[in-house]
A and B are shown apart, each in its own frame.
Chain A
C-alpha cells in the first residue's frame, strides 16, 4: 500500500495535534494563501526580531492532513530560528517536494520535514505540502521589506 509511505506517523501526529496553531499578536506581516484546486487555505503571520531572528510563526487554516501538518512542522522548524536558516529549510523542502520522488532529502537541513518525502511522488499533493511553506516565504519577504 503506497498510502502508508504518504501518511507517515509524524504527519498524522502533527495533523491531529498541530503545533503553534492560531493567529497571534504582534506580527510584522500577514499573508493568506489558497490552493484553488482543492480549497486548502492558510493565513500566516510572522514576527521577526533583532539579527533576523524569527520570534513567532502563527497560522490558521483548513485543509487536508498534508497541508495542515506541513504548517505545523514549519512552525516548529522556523520559530526560534533565523530568517537565513529557515529560508534554507524552505528551499531544501521545495527542492524535495518538486523532485518527483527522485531527490535524496538532506535530513540535517530538513529535520522532521523529511517525513514529507513520500508526498513528492504525488504530484496532486505537492501543492498541499508547499502551501504553508510558500506562505511563510512570502510573509518573511514582506516583513523584511
Chain B
C-alpha cells in the first residue's frame, strides 16, 4: 500500500522539462500555486488544464502513473469537498435530513477539489522531473539571499535532501517489517480502531529503532568525511541558469499573473 505513493519520486528522463534548471521549476510551481488561487471561474481551469497537460506531454510522464499519485490525497479530497458541499449557506438545491446542498456549496466544492488536484499534480511534476539532489541544490540557491537575515538555508536544504533520500529506504523498511510481523501471524486489517492502532506497535518500534540507528550512522559517516556545514563547501555539479530558463520563468510568471487578475 505504501508503494503507490508517487509524490516525491523521481522519474529519470532527458526531456526539455527534465533539463530545466531546478530553480526555474521551483519558481514555476510557486507562480502556479499563487495563480491558481486567483482563478474566479470554473472555465478558467481549462487554461490550467491545458498548461498541466502540456508539461506532462513535454516531460513524457505516463499519465496513469501521475494520476495514481492522487490516491493518497483522496481522503483529504473527499473531506474538503464534503465540508464545502454541506456547510456553505445559500440557495438550497437538495435536502437530505439535516444536511442541505446549496448551489454555492457545489461551486465552492468544485473549486476546492480542482485546486487541490492541480496543486498536487503540478507539485508531483516538479519532483518527478527533478532529481532530489538538484532539487535541494536549487532550493538552497534560491534561499541563499535569506541566509543574510539568519535563515539556515544550507542546513534546511541538507535536511531536505536527507529526508528525500531516506523516504524510499523507510518505505522499503516498513514493507519488510510488516511482512515479517505478518509472517508471525500479525493482523493489520481487522478489529476496531483501537485494536488496529495497537497492531501498529510491532511495526513502529522496529522502524524507529532502525531510523535512529541509520541517523546515527549517517551523522558519523558525514563527520568522518569532514562535513561541517555550508562554509567553504564547493560543488561538483554547478547549477547553470540558461537563457531558456529565464524565458520559461518569465513566461510562467506572467502567465500566472495574468491568470490571477483576469481569469
A and B co-occur in one complex: no
Residues of B bordering A, CB below 8 Å? none
